[in-house]
């Protein structure tokens, strides 16, 4: 993607989250979500999520599957990874990715994109609410771990379903909005 002529303020933000079959390099995506917001006024423009059928469920960490609510019934109509990624690239075109502990999501997204020779449509720059929270709240004794769950509680945000990609992306967006108000 050629972004050399666009200014950073010209990009929308795409709050993203993923769920995976574990935390190792051999693990796979099981969910991916985007909450796209205007880079101008931060209003929500679009939300999207997809469940993804893992190819190697036998390699999954059972605890990770439990945490992310994976089950055969809810994933019966899940997309194959390549189809989900192509839609993800459409939804994140000309955006700056934002997330909480974004490095985790970034790793699995880029690994999956590489497997299908797909190129990012989003800018290579990103925003991480973990870093923002560390900077804004590091001296607040009420904050201990800077996890998304802890930050949501601190700001009075009640997630509907923790470790669901769309709900975590929504929660990250709401935490971001609270952080920039500080």
Domain limits of the chain? Answer: 8-181
The architecture that CATH gives domain 8-181 is 2-Layer Sandwich (3.30)
Task: Take residue 178 and report the two structure tokens written for it.
Answer: 């609270």
- pLDDT (tens digit, 0 to 9) for every residue of the chain, 182 residues total? 554 567 777 899 999 999 999 999 999 999 999 999 999 999 999 999 999 999 999 999 999 999 999 999 999 999 999 999 999 999 999 999 999 999 999 999 999 999 999 999 999 899 999 999 999 999 999 999 999 999 999 999 999 998 999 999 999 999 999 999 99
Structure tokens at 157: 């945000």
- How many Cβ atoms are within 10 Å of 154's Cβ, its own excluded? 16
Tell me the pTM. 0.93
CA proximity to 109, closest of 24, 172, 17, 36: 17
Taking CA atoms, 79 is separated from 1, 23, 121, 126, 130, in Å, by 25, 21, 20, 26, 30
Count, in order, helices (H) and strands (E) of the chain: 6, 5
């Amino acid at each position: 993607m050629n972004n050399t002529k666009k200014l950073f303020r010209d990009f929308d933000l795409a709050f993203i989250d993923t769920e995976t079959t574990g935390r190792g390099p051999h693990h796979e995506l099981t969910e991916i979500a985007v909450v796209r917001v205007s880079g101008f006024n931060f209003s929500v423009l679009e939300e999207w999520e997809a469940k993804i059928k893992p190819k190697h469920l036998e390699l999954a960490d059972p605890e990770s599957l439990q945490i992310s609510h994976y089950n055969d019934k809810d994933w019966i109509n899940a997309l194959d990874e390549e189809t989900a990624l192509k839609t993800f690239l459409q939804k994140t075109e000309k955006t700056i990715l934002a997330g909480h502990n974004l490095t985790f999501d970034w790793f699995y997204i880029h690994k999956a994109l590489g497997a299908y020779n797909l190129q990012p449509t989003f800018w290579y720059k990103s925003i991480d609410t973990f870093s923002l929270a560390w900077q804004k709240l590091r001296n607040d004794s009420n904050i201990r771990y800077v996890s998304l769950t802890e930050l949501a509680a601190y700001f009075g945000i009640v997630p509907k379903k923790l470790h669901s990609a769309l709900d975590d992306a929504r929660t990250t967006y709401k935490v971001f909005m609270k952080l920039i108000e500080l």
